[in-house]
Amino acid sequence: MSAHRIAPVPAVARPPRFWPPAAFWKALGSHIVIPLFLAAGMALAYLGAFHAAQPDNIPVGIVGQGPAADVFAQTLNDKAPSALDVSTVATAAKARAEVADGTLSAAYATDATHATIIVSTAASPAEASAAEELMLPIAYQQHLPVTIDDVRPVPADDMTGQGLFFMMVAMSVGGYSSAIAISAVAGRLGIGWRIAVSAATAVVVSAITTVVAGPLFHVLAGNEWSIGLLGALYTFGIITIGVGLHPMLGRWTTPVLTLLFVMLNVTTSGGIFPQNMQPPFFAGLSTFWTGAAWLDSARALTYLPGQEFGFDGLRLALWATAGLALIGVSHLLTVRRRRAADDTLAATPEEEETAAVAA
């Protein structure tokens, strides 16, 4: 029997495809959906909140007493019924005090030869600017020279008045990015360790931003310890919410945290425009969202001494409590998934203890 060697038949080279295969499009779709979500969300949030800011019932005082002052105040209300909420104030000294403590956003005082617009740029540069734009035409119609009396100006090292706002943005980014990092390495740790690491990280993030804003750039005018502690509570709420969501959402945790603490948080904080210059949706969120709570309390400590901010502290505490609750819920779900995957595996004492703590 003779053996014949069979020459191999060369493979026919396939011409390159012009159109990628279906597997490519499927993989591209699963990866590109999050960036597209972020692009659409950021555009909707930022343009929706900032593209057409309008004054809405800005509280303004007219200095004066008697029928003439009442008629003047009512005339201004009638001219801008949705923009201004005009009332009368007995004296210029009282008007300055109410603008300084935030009761009024601005006040307008006149005598026979002069007009004064009283504002507080430290409380809200945008609101002070809006009040000036609304009141300057009044003085021009009365043919009176105008002086701007800024009873609480922004510090010399924070000319835009946005220092606290940018500090809040820094803590927000540090908080939700820390949540992702902690979730990546602490998923198998007990619930107590996850909370402890979150708390320690929150303190560090707040300390870094407080040092940068205070001693380095002099944005803070005292009360650094109080502002730093409130910052730690604020950041702790963000981190615990992220750590709690990660076991349930996986790779969608980052876009969800971006939605919560960038798209909605930054736009509703009052850092760019105050609540009464925001569209209704964002103004409504501002009443309970965490960034607005921290910024309001920090402004009270920095610019409005004596103003109470207990409700703002309560809002921060409630967000932190929600984060702790999410960690507990996600831990219970993780324990149940592990048990369902192997129902012959007995729970360890640590699992039983942490499950009891979470419950």
pLDDT score recorded for residue 199: 97
* Helix and strand totals (H; E) in the chain: 13, 5
Asked if 151 and 99 count as a contact pair (C-beta separation under 8 A), the reply is yes
Q: Locate tokens 């005009």: which residue?
A: 86
DSSP per-residue codes, 285-305? HHTT-HHHHHHHHHHHHHH-T
Provide the CA 10 distance to its chain's centre, in angstroms. 65
Residue 231 three-state SS: helix
pLDDT score recorded for residue 73: 87
Which CA distances in Å does 182 have to 50, 93, 130, 185, 258? 33, 53, 43, 6, 16
pLDDT score recorded for residue 263: 95
Which CA distances in Å does 115 have to 16, 112, 145? 79, 9, 6
pLDDT score recorded for residue 293: 96
Which CA distances in Å does 353 have to 50, 164, 343? 49, 42, 19
Tens of each residue's pLDDT in the chain, 359 residues: 555 566 665 555 566 677 888 888 888 888 899 899 999 999 999 999 998 888 888 899 999 888 888 888 888 888 777 788 888 998 999 999 999 888 898 999 988 788 999 999 888 888 888 888 888 888 888 888 999 999 988 888 888 888 999 999 999 999 999 999 999 888 777 899 999 999 999 999 999 999 999 999 988 877 899 999 999 999 999 999 999 999 999 889 999 999 999 999 999 999 888 888 899 999 999 999 999 999 999 988 888 776 778 899 999 999 999 999 999 998 888 777 766 665 444 444 544 443 333 33
| Phi then psi dihedrals of residue 224, to 5 deg | -60, -40
Could you give the CA distance from residue 207 to residue 174 in angstroms, rounded to a whole number? 11
